[in-house]
Amino acid sequence: MRIGFIGLGNMGGPMALNLIKAGHIVTVHDIRKNMAEAHLAGGAKWAETPADAAKEAELVLTSLPGPREVEAVAIGGENGIIHGISKTAVWADLSTNSPTVIRRLHGIFAEKGIAVLDAPVSGGVPGARNATLAVMVGGDEQVYQRIKPALDGIGDKVSYVGAIGAGAVAKLVHNMIAIGSMQLLAEAFTMGVKAGVPAEALFTQVQNGAYGQGMLLRALPRMIFKGNFDRVSFALKLARKDLGLATELARENNVPMPLANLVEQDLLTALAHGLGELDSSAAFTVQEDRAGVKVRAS
C-alpha cells in the first residue's frame, strides 16, 4: 500500500519503520526533518508538507501530540492533508485525540468525499517498536476492513470499536484507568513503605492477591455489566472497612491520600444508601447515579 506518514516521534517513528519493513511504499513528514533519518535510509520518500505526504497515498496516517496539531496538519493553511489527499484515499489518525475534534474533521473531509477513521494506539514505545500495539478504530466499518491489513503492520490487537470517535472514546477510557490507577498505586505504595514494609514485599503480595490476579477487571463483565450486586463475594461493608483502615494507616504515617479519601466517600455514600450487604462492586453505582447512566451489557 502507498502510505503517507506524518509525525515521526516516539510512537510514529517506530510505527512508520515497521510499515516500511512490512513492504509498504512510505512517504514521511515531520516538522523536524531529522526525525526521518532512519526512514529515509530505509527507503522512504520525504515530503515537505502534510499535503505532499498525502498526495500519492492510499492511506494517510498521523501520529501527532494532540488535537491542536492534528487539526493544523489536517486542515491548516494550504499545506493540510485535505489539500493533497485523493478522494479514494483514507486518513486514519493514530494520535490520542479529542473525539469531538476528530468527528468535526471527519465531517469536513466527508464533504469532499474523503474517508476518515480515528485509530488511537496503546502499548507504548515497546509496542510501537515490536508492532504489538492495540489499535482502537472508529469510523466506517467497510473503510476499516480495507485498511486493516496495513494497521496489522503496527499492531497485533487491531479492532473495530464503532462509529467515528468511538476509538478515541475507548482510548480515553483506557488512559483514564491507567493514569488514575497509577496515582492510586502511588498512594498505596507510599502508605505501605512509610508504614514499614519494603516495596518489593508489597509488590509481591499485591501481585499474588486478587487485584494482581486480574480480578478487578474481570468483575466488570461478571458483576457490573450484569448489575449482579446481590451475588456477594466480598461485601461492600468489608471494602469500606478495609479502605477505612488504609486511610487511617495513612494518617498515622502522615501520608496524604487524596484519591483514597475520595473513594472512601463513595463507599460511605453506598453504605448510607443501604448497599452495605451487597457485593463491594455495588460501589460502582454511586458513580453511575452521579453520572446518570448505567454501565450494563449482555
Instruction: List residues binding ligand NAD (CB under 6 A).
Output: 6-12, 30-32, 35, 63-66, 69, 72-73, 95-96, 121-122, 124-125
List, by residue number, the catalytic residues: 171
Tell me whether residue 13 or residue 192 sits nearer to ligand NAD (CB atom).
13
Tell me whether residue 101 or residue 257 sits nearer to ligand NAD (CB atom).
101
Q: Read off the DSSP letter of residue 86.
A: -
Query: Nearest to ligand NAD by Cβ — which residue?
Result: 9
State the angle between helix axes of 166-194 and 236-252 in degrees (0 to 180), rounded to the nearest 10.
Answer: 50
Q: Is 36 helix (H, G, I), strand (E, B) or coil?
A: helix
Closest contact distance (angstroms) between CB of 175 and ligand NAD is 8
Rounded CA-CA distance 94/62 in Å is 6
Q: Is 195 helix (H, G, I), strand (E, B) or coil?
A: coil
Residue with cell 493514569: 179
Closest contact distance (angstroms) between CB of 141 and ligand NAD is 23
23: which residues sit within 8 A by CB, 6+ positions away?
none
Closest contact distance (angstroms) between CB of 275 and ligand NAD is 37
Residue with cell 501520529: 63
CB-CB neighbours of 2 under 10 Å: 15
Tell me whether residue 4 or residue 12 sits nearer to ligand NAD (CB atom).
12
Q: Are 166 and 138 in contact (CB under 8 A)?
A: yes
Closest contact distance (angstroms) between CB of 99 and ligand NAD is 13
Closest contact distance (angstroms) between CB of 182 and ligand NAD is 13
Tell me whether residue 95 or residue 285 sits nearer to ligand NAD (CB atom).
95
Q: Are 28 and 76 in contact (CB under 8 A)?
A: no
Rounded CA-CA distance 69/43 in Å is 26
Tell me whether residue 104 or residue 174 sits nearer to ligand NAD (CB atom).
174
Q: Read off the C-alpha cell for 204.
A: 509481591
